[in-house]
Chain A
């Protein structure tokens, strides 16, 4: 039996970040990944010869080289990565788009500020007050009380349309709560999106993952793919190791889990027989520990760059209704709001090979999960949908609705069509230029991330200090609560520092 200083569950951004830190300081560490591909929520795949990213539209938290005291810089130092190596290229500009109103923003915060003053002159002072409150708040204080962001924002900004427009990008890129955010999460997202901004490597998420994997292996870390964890072994008080799906047992002093809070507790519960005991949520009893927010995404390959169709923005956060509703829909999807991403509109040195438009909508996991699978068809990414131009327009909506209720593949086709129509108030009609489409659903997300309910941003309950209730077992990643790709990596890093390296330094013989 192999004994490790630390076992890390999941080869996503947080697991790899933690792994690099521990391997760097000569800890015997293994990262266990259930799948054959790394990245977790931010991964990649091939589809009909095309290279697609999952999750990543943009990296938030952009910082120029040498910028001081920002999350990106902190990350680079901790992982010993030079700024150049990330190959970051900034967005042009993005927008929050509402019926009849549009706010542009870029990596220069002044653009958003002037847009708010132009479109909502009465709210300019209130917006500045929110900005100051965000700037003055120390989101790194892990022991700060939980406050509701909406209450704070609405105390400064009285126009609900502007409140909704500001919340929309922050929620879509990181909120596990419906229609509100914890204030500290709001601050993290506001800083990472509006103050710092968007960038991406030419080669997308692959590039970042390759950097991490190389760094981890070079430092001496062990990575095991297709090594799912069946349960976490404890002696009642302390975590002592894990048992893999294949029955193999590994022991360790410390287990860091990026599987998610509910999922990790379940892995322990398999041993304790009381999966719910650790989960009684503190505070708001209306919050259930399993996240409700999942998404569909369609990836459209176009026959020309989006810019040539007149789409200037890098990312558009849109909404078509009077009030923005960030909540689990009663139907399979809610296509009345969403995110439209044009990866080719980053300021890239070369135009990407594929001209993509990606559209994300909120979706209901349970509804997708209840659909029948067509024989032999797995969830996406291996089951594509047809471009809108190929949809049979003679079929009546009623028939399509009925079919969509039964069949996973038909549902994808149906909601792809709806989703494509509902963005047309915000971008020109791209549909005639679509040559290939793929779509993934909450079911795909659960399949590849293991997150219950396909909950992209995990549980609304975050464990900021990483403590799970079991000694030696700590939560990293989404449910620890640092958000975005940079946040996820910093989550793994800071938990590895706190629970392994610092502790180790404290107990060493002087």
Chain B
């Protein structure tokens, strides 16, 4: 999976969590929390969806790596290698 696809995977999950949210202008360097209506319950869902869709496990202690799209890419690049983007 390319870096761009990893971002798409995360944004796809966020769209499913909150279909009423506009995700078209996310700044990938900025914290997701500061741009979108995401709380700790939603981060649990991002983690749960990553596991369900991609078989990727994110331990509780690593939640901080999901703060921005850029940090997601850095953290997930190895874990998502070889996986197909689920639309």
Contact = CB atoms under 8 A, between A and B. Distances in A.
A494 B41 CA distance: 8
Nearest to A494: B41
Interface in B41-73: 41-42, 44-45, 47-48, 51-52, 57-60
A501 B48 contact: yes
Q: Determine the main DSSP class of B at the interface with A.
A: helix
A508 B62 CA distance: 14
A25 B39 CA distance: 19
A509 B42 CA distance: 22
B78 interface: no
A505 interface: yes
Q: Determine the main DSSP class of A at the interface with B.
A: helix
B41 A497 contact: yes
A68 B20 CA distance: 11
Nearest to A490: B41
B77 to A, nearest CB: 17
B41 A510 contact: no
Contact of A78 (B41, B52, B59): B41
Contact of B57 (A69, A76, A508): A508
B66 to A, nearest CB: 13
Contacts, number: 52
Contact of A26 (B16, B19, B52, B57): B52
B16 to A, nearest CB: 7
Interface in B7-52: 16-21, 37, 39, 41-42, 44-45, 47-48, 51-52
Given A505-B59, A505-B60, A506-B59, A80 B17 contact: yes
A80 B58 CA distance: 22
Contacts of A47: none
B51 to A, nearest CB: 7
B59 A497 contact: no
Residue among A25, A73, A77, A493 with max Cβ neighbours from chain B (10 Å): A77
Nearest to B18: A77
A77 B43 CA distance: 11
A510 B52 contact: no
A82 B51 contact: no
A83 interface: yes
A74 B20 contact: no
Nearest to A504: B48
B64 to A, nearest CB: 15
A83 B48 contact: no
Given A505-B47, A505-B48, A506-B60, A65 B20 contact: yes
A66 interface: yes
A82 B41 contact: no
Interface residues of A, number: 24
A505 B20 contact: no
B37 A502 contact: no
A83 B20 contact: yes
A69 B48 CA distance: 21
Contact of B37 (A68, A493, A508, A510): A68
Contacts of A69: 37, 39
Given A69-B37, A502-B44, A505-B51, A510 B18 contact: no
A162 B33 CA distance: 40
Interface string A75-91: 01110101100000000
B17 A25 contact: no
A502 B60 CA distance: 8
Interface string A40-83: 00000000000000000000000001101100011011101011
Given A25-B52, A74-B39, A66 B20 contact: yes
B20 A78 contact: no
Interface string A472-510: 000000000000000000000110010001100110111
A77 B48 contact: no
A78 B45 contact: yes
A74 B41 contact: yes
B33 to A, nearest CB: 11
Contacts of B16: 80
Residue among A25, A69, A82 with max Cβ neighbours from chain B (10 Å): A25
A77 B45 CA distance: 9
A137 to B, nearest CB: 17
Interface of B: 16-21, 37, 39, 41-42, 44-45, 47-48, 51-52, 57-60
Given A77-B42, A77-B45, 7 more contacts: A25-B48, A66-B21, A76-B20, A80-B17, A494-B41, A501-B48, A508-B51
25 contacts: A25-B48, A25-B52, A65-B20, A66-B21, A69-B37, A74-B39, A74-B41, A76-B20, A77-B18, A77-B37, A77-B41, A77-B42, A78-B45, A80-B17, A80-B19, A83-B20, A497-B41, A497-B44, A501-B44, A501-B48, A502-B60, A505-B48, A505-B59, A509-B57, A510-B59
Interface of A: 25-26, 65-66, 68-69, 73-74, 76-78, 80, 82-83, 493-494, 497, 501-502, 505-506, 508-510
Give 9 nearest A-B pairs by CB, closest first: A68-B37, A77-B18, A77-B17, A82-B19, A83-B20, A66-B20, A25-B48, A508-B57, A506-B60
